[in-house]
A and B are shown apart, each in its own frame.
Chain A
Amino acid sequence: GAVVSQHPSWVICKSGTSVKIECRSLDFQATTMFWYRQFPKQSLMLMATSNEGSKATYEQGVEKDKFLINHASLTLSTLTVTSAHPEDSSFYICSASLGPAWEEQYFGPGTRLTVT
């Protein structure tokens, strides 16, 4: 099946710094990528939808200036957490859509962010 990778898998950063997370579709071109956040023992919450070459669409309550998303190519989307704070510590997971059928959405392994 299609493979989605994320880098890094785990990152620790200091409060006030920024951290970038990459999401790559390794063997297919993804027209749409999604970013989710999962707090411990909570469900995955959709943060934003990213389409190649256009601005991301953010869900209500997600600060677009804090969570910068860039989808520069059909195989790469990046999420930058700016001025990170401890409450941003979470598990960030991306998914990539192969096409219009919903089952063609593949999840990455996730990135665990810890802000100290």
Chain B
Amino acid sequence: GDSVTQMEGPVTLSEEAFLTINCTYTATGYPSLFWYVQYPGEGLQLLLKATKADDKGSNKGFEATYRKETTSFHLEKGSVQVSDSAVYFCALSEGRGDYKLSFGAGTTVTVRA
């Protein structure tokens, strides 16, 4: 079945550092890929998405490129801020008509001033 594997956290960084969170997936077809972010005490929010190979999703300085050859969708940000402290989830959907999402375990990121 479909599955998503994320790098384990927690990740602790200093402000202005470079952030990478690795995500790889297993799927039978051609899934759409997502990154969600969860700030403390809140629900998940869509951060970015990509729907086909080589697409790049971007939002709020974050980027991720859909790499079919390596089945990956790594999240990157060049200069993090304290406000980026959150839990990040990689997810995929096969889009079979039920739009179900499969999530990774989540990566907790803490940015220190």
- Are A and B part of the same complex? no
Chain B residues with a Cβ under 8 A of chain A: none
Chain A residues with a Cβ under 8 A of chain B: none
